[in-house]
A and B are shown apart, each in its own frame.
Chain A
């Protein structure tokens, strides 16, 4: 009798396994042979896959990104020049899952392009696969070096650190007449490590004296030791390649310790959250960004207004980049004139000076971003243009 109870465990689990396998099978079926039909006349209709970081510690990024997509989607479909459908999938920020999901999207014939994934680590895995299968893929938040170089089907519209950091650094050095810098970076994260590599190269190019290079790890709470060391070396500027979570805490502890010099951050440091976490200690953070929500541009203000009305919060750079990305896709589809992967790729590569909320946008020959970043500084409790 006890045997039977015991073994029911196994039966149940086997049964569950079967059900799960069955579920896995079903989810890929889609009701889409309409792409062929739409080809002849009327607007181009296409389905685009989205891979986003929707669950787990970085879910906030994925949420902002998908919000940006959805807002753009509504507007584009309303205009009616092209008709787009999105298939949004979660990757939980993990390479394995991103790759699985990408396979799922790529193997479905009516998906013409992929937006995402969120993290550069994921793109490093998904990019080569997409390139080999000949499906255009565009990152909206992948800023690490080398992403568009993966292949000719790989694009991005996120401002790489190699554009953002020199812009911020040049302006700051000029303004403060800085000679020496200390560099801080999170060494266990692709994003911040990649930002650091750029920072170091730029600082060396500019002939700045790097007094020290210090590292920290994700989730660290005590930065006193390295800040004390930096304080002692007394640099003119501190370059911090950090995500805003750690970055804000670093600024807070630095100001407490009496370090008053400006901080220059990378893309990941650029978030209103910094002000929220560090409060007055965040004053003096300089970042370069494609996105400035207070820009006096009707296009920008319209986007901010709509976004706020719909999602109840101000859009950040991730939302803005995603919003523009879908417009880029729509433009590409319109120019391609058909829902075809290769045609779309060629059309995307041709895009020049497209007006978006981030400014004028073009791809260079590698599929990377060409645009002028805006340099901002935190002053009086908010981001302002840094002049």
Chain B
């Protein structure tokens, strides 16, 4: 029964969706304090290479490798984030874009460690490793009526899903707190935020670092799901793809990045016949979104509208006391 429902192909796509959601959130969280970072592909690469190299060369357990990958990316985030404070807007975007390119050039050229363009193959696979451990203690997926590869991808998807739920929970709560309000205040008016006693330096570096950490985390997961990485995976086009997740889905709310990542990952798979025009469509989406709905598909008012509908359904709408002027 379960065996028929779980198609490894679909599980595979779901796992990419889940990784891309983390990437989408990584750019969202930096944007939530008003900073556009186009360097997340670079941070993703740092996370991926760190974890892959540690697990391959030093037989570090995957979990530890992934955590270390994220941390190293986070440390780079701090190192880049502090000097980047002097920059804002387009200057920051370009400097971070430059950072991403420099990282790619380093991955390509530092052949003794990264194997250059050959890439790192034989990165331990998240699912296969867990599977090996489980079979070693005598577990057989047949018990669940699953084939090996079904089971392996089920493991991958479940792990990624848990991680996603944790991350979303984490940032939803953060957004509703003093920290989230400080981010939002800085995004809306940096000078006023400073006058209200918000330490801009700290919060901007914090959000930049959180973004880098998440991107590195996603990169590390990517390495262990693909089992192979090469510098081309973390180039300019990846940076743009991550940007599109957030711009299309909605850059103001976390749900926008999630929706954007999911939609943009599933769309080319579902519409394989248009894949030839995929990048052209990406381009057009960016232009049209900026012209007609710069905040992205999902925005605050849409979410409020949703909440209202849900409340209405439940019949508990007492009115929120909203009195609009104008």
Contact = CB atoms under 8 A, between A and B. Distances in A.
A contacting B, Cβ–Cβ less than 8 Å: yes
Interface of A: 3, 6-7, 9-10, 13, 17, 19-21, 23-25, 27-28, 54-56, 59, 89-90, 92, 95-97, 99-101, 103-104, 106-107, 121, 124-125, 128-129, 132-133, 144, 146, 150, 186-190, 192-194, 197, 215
- If over half of B's interface residues share one DSSP class (helix, strand or loop), that class is named, otherwise mixed; here it is helix
B270 interface: yes
A107 B8 contact: yes
Given A92-B275, A107-B9, A194-B118, A128 B269 contact: no
Interface string B197-236: 0000000000000000000000000000011101111000
A201 to B, nearest CB: 14
Contacts of A189: 117, 232
Contacts of B150: 107
Given A24-B13, A129-B149, 7 more contacts: A20-B267, A95-B228, A95-B233, A107-B7, A121-B228, A121-B232, A132-B149
B250 to A, nearest CB: 10
B302 A24 contact: no
B141 interface: no
B148 A133 contact: yes
A374 B206 CA distance: 61
B232 A100 contact: no
A19 B270 CA distance: 9
A327 to B, nearest CB: 28
B227 A125 contact: yes
Contacts of B173: none
Nearest to B13: A100
Nearest to A25: B10
- If over half of A's interface residues share one DSSP class (helix, strand or loop), that class is named, otherwise mixed; here it is helix
A194 B119 CA distance: 10
Nearest to B116: A193
B142 interface: no
Which 8 residue pairs are nearest across A and B when measured between Cβ atoms? A20-B270, A104-B9, A193-B117, A55-B276, A103-B9, A124-B228, A24-B270, A103-B8
A187 B262 CA distance: 33
A144 B118 contact: yes
Interface in B14-65: 16
Contact of A192 (B117, B267, B270, B305): B117
B117 A103 contact: no
Nearest to B249: A13
B301 A6 contact: yes
B272 interface: yes
Contacts of B149: 103, 106-107, 129, 132-133
B208 to A, nearest CB: 27
Contacts of A9: 293, 297, 302
B195 to A, nearest CB: 33
B302 A10 contact: yes
21 contacts: A6-B302, A9-B293, A23-B271, A24-B13, A24-B269, A90-B272, A92-B275, A95-B226, A95-B233, A96-B16, A97-B269, A99-B12, A100-B16, A101-B9, A107-B9, A124-B121, A128-B125, A146-B121, A188-B232, A189-B117, A190-B117
Contacts of A129: 149
Contacts of A89: 272
Nearest to B121: A124
Most-contacted residue by chain A among B11, B149, B272, B278 (CB, 10 A): B272
Nearest to A19: B270
Nearest to B107: A188
B125 A24 contact: no
A195 B56 CA distance: 24
A188 B108 CA distance: 6
B216 to A, nearest CB: 19
A124 B263 CA distance: 27
A103 B13 CA distance: 10
A19 B271 CA distance: 10
A133 B148 CA distance: 8
Nearest to B274: A55
A10 B270 CA distance: 19
A82 to B, nearest CB: 27
B235 to A, nearest CB: 9
Interface in B99-128: 108-109, 116-119, 121-122, 125, 128
Contact of A188 (B231, B269, B298): B231
A187 B117 contact: yes
A101 B8 CA distance: 10
Given A121-B119, A146-B121, A188-B117, A132 B8 contact: no
Contact of B148 (A20, A132, A192): A132
Nearest to A186: B117
A233 B119 CA distance: 31
Contacts of B108: 187-188
